[in-house]
């Protein structure tokens, strides 16, 4: 994807931002158990899509970064994944 395509596609997401060559979003939760449950659901989606984000989480938060390593940056696959992840948080 070109830089312009990425910028336009980001506008259609629910709060994802561009960080380097990745899409990034921080999710907030009430406690560790909610963070862990969310991360586990993201893991199921990622496995089904065969596209795996980098995940950092702890008490009350989860941070996700996704890029398509073998294509050298952000692709439609990343935007498809973030769309599915955003459905979890609604």
Walk me through the domains of the chain, giving residue ranges and CATH numbers: 3-88 (3.30.1360.20)
CA distance 24 to 9: 13
Q: 3-class DSSP state for residue 52? A: coil
pLDDT value at 47 more than 80? yes
Q: Average of pLDDT values for 30-55?
A: 97
Torsions phi, psi of 86, nearest 5? -60, -30
- pLDDT band at residue 9 under the 50/70/90 scheme: very high
Exposure string of 11-39, with b = 16+ CB inside 10 Å and e = fewer, is eeeeebeeeeebbbbebebeeeebbeebb
**Where are the extended beta strands (E) located within the chain?**
17-19, 22-28, 54-58, 61-66
pLDDT value at 89 more than 90? no
Query: What is the pTM for the complete model shown?
Result: 0.91
């Amino acid at each position: 994807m070109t830089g312009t395509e990425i910028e336009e596609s980001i506008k259609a997401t629910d709060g994802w931002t561009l960080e380097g060559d990745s899409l990034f979003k921080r999710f907030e939760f009430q406690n560790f158990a909610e963070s862990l449950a969310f991360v586990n659901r993201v893991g199921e989606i990622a496995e089904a899509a065969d596209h795996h984000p980098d995940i950092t989480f702890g008490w009350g938060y989860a941070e996700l970064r996704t890029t398509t390593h073998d294509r050298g940056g952000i692709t439609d696959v990343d935007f498809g994944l973030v769309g599915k992840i955003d459905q979890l948080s609604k």
